[in-house]
Structure 1
């Protein structure tokens, strides 16, 4: 590494905090190479980044490929490029969809999200060590995001903050993560009609929740600043930055109905119940595999 980079590295180490990137993997072998290429491009000092993965219910070689790439990035990189720690955990939940079921289908959402909540909580409890100041939840199939993602999101100093997760092809793009949203008077009214155990999910014709989705806020009101922030009541988990203290003080991923939400949206509800704020960036885009 040249002298200029060494100076920058020392400066960063004196001013930045440790980040833990957490990713649950299931049947995801095809995404692992690109995942590591992307995290390796991050400009945040790698020795202040730890990576941790939970592999569950996978028969496609996910854990073997993950171990291969983790080993490569542990030992074959220059010292200044190496991540602080790379941890791989395994736990199966025996959750399998029938052969003709789509993981995005409405009828499987609550059960699927309950399993995802357990997966995220298992990973968080195994990997969150005392030096960590920030936790980035990053799905394995988020395929494109700025190399400066960590510096930019951390600089906002929000308890929880999420970019807007989109998809794109060579000539078009659209909103992907519908779990980033704001409540409305209509959505609050709907919830008054529900039983405590009822769970709401977003983006399905079978259930109209009346919420305002962040994917629909991009460029709204002629606001184009990528750091324009809006308060949210629910978040997804595709790319979500959380202050570690929020998790340590009790905000986790409920696998049960908490204020009519489970998993990541339940995390947002729980964090707000604990007095924390949740924010979204409608014009800061990351892209998901489609």
Structure 2
């Protein structure tokens, strides 16, 4: 017989049913609102499942391959790329007369022949139009992604206040030192943001790839990982015999923490001038061309820093060149260094003192300065290894 007392104290079974119904309808309501707020936060295509991870700004979208199982035990390498907008992929005017796109980037990575189970992508853009384009590009794929999962972040501006730098492609060639410093500082902050947001404990290797690098040498990723997997505790993994330039005689090479390679474009055989060895003056592009192609001598040039194009002659593909600074067109970083404090400096880190700013080493140019003080070295692939950079 029911009583007021029994109605006020429902049986455990009735209570469980009530909780289940309330939870179910509440959850369904949250899902419905989430879909409406994020404009279809869960989408499925033939090859890809996508979902929005966070409903607020910054937008973060995760794309999972339907063909490639996610195996965290194998997923060791994180590929990272920054874009400002759709123009960031560059244009080849001289030979192709066409703009590059995210789909071209996907094919470049696919040609590296990496096992997709071992690779993840982190991609950041400051353009809403670019975000929607990238999402659609992945969902339209007819082949499996060259990575098991990708995370795309839309970040129109950095969280902390800062005088925003108008980072358009035209500004890359602004030679005003102060403006270039501000531009590099802004890029460093975006690089650090993308790194800290996407780096998971399972990743051992990181590869930074500029969006407008349109041609990669076969096997570049695998060569990066081969060098980055050397164990400094093992005598047989000592890389000193491989270092054929940039290292003083009878000097022990530091274990490889960062690795890059030469970048060229249609009129620059040494496009990425942020990679060099030495601490003196860095020659201009014109001076470097005069020195390397015409043998011109300049007063005091023996103390100048040496560019990659000056260090590579006589080296073979299996060799390495020791560097004191690296660029970011294609750059390998051992992930453990980042976890222990390696960052892209957003200030001139070299020469910094209490109450006094430094004189050099912003963004990629300060990485080796920090890494060497952590006990790790920077190197470039020797021989004919090179990427090809867009000319516009």
Q: TM-score, normalised by structure 2?
A: 0.58
Q: Detail structure 1 runs of 4+ shifted over 4 Å in the superposition.
A: 201-205
User: Counterpart in 1 of 2:257?
Assistant: 159
Shift of 1:275: 1.2
Distance between the aligned counterparts of 2:380 and 2:75, measured in 1? Answer: 22
Tell me which of 73, 90, 106 is aligned to 2:154: 90
Alignment of 1:173-212 (within 5 A): 174-184=269-279, 187=280, 203=284, 210-212=304-306
Shift of 1:82: 5.0
Alignment of 1:115-154 (within 5 A): 115-154=186-225
Larger Rg: 2
User: Counterpart in 1 of 2:131?
Assistant: 63
| SS at 2:193 equivalent | helix
Cα RMSD for the two superposed structures? 3.0
User: Counterpart in 2 of 1:5?
Assistant: none
Shift of 1:98: 8.9
Cα 1:95–1:173 change in 2 (3 A) is closer
Q: Deviations over 1:195-220 (max 9, x none)?
A: xxxxxx88478xx99311113333x2
User: Counterpart in 1 of 2:58?
Assistant: none
User: Counterpart in 2 of 1:270?
Assistant: 370
User: Counterpart in 1 of 2:253?
Assistant: none
Q: Deviations over 1:68-124 (max 9, x none)?
A: 223345xx434xx5522100112233421699x642212121011000000100000
Cα 1:257–1:23 change in 2 (3 A) is same
Distance between the aligned counterparts of 1:34 and 1:253, measured in 2? Answer: 27
Tell me which of 16, 20, 25 is aligned to 2:83: 25
Is 1:106 aligned with 2:175?
Answer: yes
Distance between the aligned counterparts of 1:178 and 1:282, measured in 2? Answer: 16
Q: Deviations over 1:160-193 (max 9, x none)?
A: 110111113xxx7621100111114xx1xx7xxx
| SS at 1:176 equivalent | coil
Higher relative contact order (CA 8 A, sep 6+): 1
Is 1:39 aligned with 2:106?
Answer: no
Distance between the aligned counterparts of 2:80 and 2:167, measured in 1? Answer: 24
Shift of 1:229: 0.6
Question: Is the Cα contact below 8 Å between 1:166 and 1:215 reproduced in 2?
Answer: no
Question: Is the Cα contact below 8 Å between 1:176 and 1:215 reproduced in 2?
Answer: no
Q: Deviations over 1:10-64 (max 9, x none)?
A: xxx9x976110000001235432211110122211011100011112x37x3222
Gaps of 5+ in 1: 1-8, 191-200
| SS at 2:369 equivalent | helix
| SS at 2:81 equivalent | strand
User: Counterpart in 2 of 1:213?
Assistant: 307
Distance between the aligned counterparts of 1:244 and 1:124, measured in 2? Answer: 10
| SS at 2:327 equivalent | coil
Gaps of 5+ in 2: 1-67, 88-99, 158-163, 229-255, 287-300, 351-359
Q: TM-score, normalised by structure 1?
A: 0.77
